[in-house]
Chains A and B, each alone.
Chain A
Amino acid sequence: MDRNEIAERLTGVLVSELGLEQDKIKDEAHFEEDLDVDSLGVVELLMALEDEFDVKIPDEEAESIVTVGQAIDLVQGKLGG
């Protein structure tokens, strides 16, 4: 799966699961500062990504995710892309 496809599906999850506005979701967007996703929301996001991409994201890796781009990279790494 290429990065664009992952980004597209991740955006879909952010919109449908977290109720975010699509046009604010960019690679460099910071979850807490730019998207108003709090610490509970980040956990919800990671759970949704695990379901969407059928991957496992351990807590220690999850803690380093603060931007949309980092989340995409993490998923891409998991999928071996």
Chain B
Amino acid sequence: MSSERRRVVVTGMGAITPLGQDVDSTWASLKKGLSGVSGITLFDASEYKTRIAAEVDGWDTSEHFDKKEARRLDRFLEFFVVSARQALAQAGLDFRDDEEAASRAGVMVGAGFGGMGSFIEEIETLSERGPGRVSPTGVPKIIPNMGAGLVSIEQNLTGPVSCVVTACSASANAIGDAAEIIRRGAADVMVAGGAEASITSFGIASFSQARAMSTRNDAPEAASRPFDLDRDGFVMGEGGASLVLESYEHAQERGAEVFGEIKGYGMSADAYHITLPRPGGMGAARAMKAALHDAGLDGGSIGYVNAHGTSTEANDSTETAAIHIALGDSARDVAVSSTKSMTGHLLGAAGAAEAVFSLKALDEQVLPPTINLDTPDPDCDLDYVPNEAREARFDHVMSNSFGFGGHNVSLVFSRA
């Protein structure tokens, strides 16, 4: 770790999740161990093997955008733009009348897909009515980077603005990459996060065909059960989350409240299979070790791991093995939980949402639980904070995110 490197802190957070339309309501639900999973309402799923998901209930676009704006937005873009507004408001930053500061501020967004719902609609229009009926705003609704573009436009952020597309690790990468941009001095402030809204016909059908999703349709709230012996796949969620990252000096100069520091960012690839993790967990373990090395910490320093914990058969046992490899003997003492047991899997937005949860855990010294953990899988032998939140004392938290394609990303946050 270079002594020259600039420190990066978190001064704002925003989240729209299946458990609430802001950070506070989401966090309150997580501490209570509530599930956001129920029957799919966003499309008619009656003929699908999986008919449950974790939707953002009661999302009202008109509360956030006028009609003219809304026509050009996919649901995933709405989630991201609103989460960014929340994060910037909490940070107390506004660049709309300060061109110089604006040029030192940027956005890094992560998305797995982009505007899948809009893509499906446009393709249906194309098939049914021909090319002359395809919307000219179809492409800007669909491309995954547009969240970054929109936040840049709305908030007048004219520094580095970009996008990461690495499936379910996308927004963890976005946060790590944004931190690197600040570390190397290319920006002072970055909005970093992600969004996803793929509870759609194609999204559910394709994951379902891959045998990756739970079919526990008769008990939606019990469907996402990471590390439990009776787990049968992940439950799709949706939402958006953003952090405001800032150089330590910049935050200090303006007297900003700091929620935590990004100390470590590690990534690795499995180089193994398009959807399955490399057995044994060595791939994921290398990302965790890289993040620890980047943070200058040893495994024993980590008090809490917010696991990727998808509730698929392959992930949960492999991730457990990876935590054993990365943390060594300390793995026996570390608390690990999967908030996906409650939020479902926000896919490209998961890393950002779980970064928010990790920072809240750190700030409040409370561990959110893994719910539905009734019968621990013998291959999953860690302390998963089963079913009830609890208080703990810890200074460093690790958040894991893995993606189809073999991407492994770990972030380490530390108390400010």
Contact = CB atoms under 8 A, between A and B. Distances in A.
A44 B136 contact: yes
A50 to B, nearest CB: 8
B66 interface: yes
Contacts, number: 22
Contacts of B137: 40, 44
B133 A19 contact: no
A19 B67 contact: yes
A18 interface: yes
B68 interface: yes
A49 to B, nearest CB: 13
Q: What interface size band does chain B fall in?
A: 10 to 19
Interface in B343-392: none
Nearest to A40: B136
Contacts of A19: 66-71
B68 A20 contact: yes
A47 B69 CA distance: 18
What band does the interface of chain A fall in when counting residues whose beta carbon is under 8 Å from B? under 10
Contacts of B132: 47
B70 to A, nearest CB: 8
A20 B71 CA distance: 12
A44 B206 CA distance: 32
A46 to B, nearest CB: 10
A18 B68 contact: yes
B71 A18 contact: yes
A79 interface: no
Nearest to B72: A40
A55 interface: no
Interface in A3-54: 17-20, 40, 43-44, 47
B25 interface: no
A47 B133 contact: yes
B135 interface: yes
Contacts of A18: 68, 71
Nearest to A57: B132
5 contacts: A18-B71, A40-B72, A43-B136, A44-B136, A47-B132
Interface of B: 66-72, 132-133, 135-137, 140
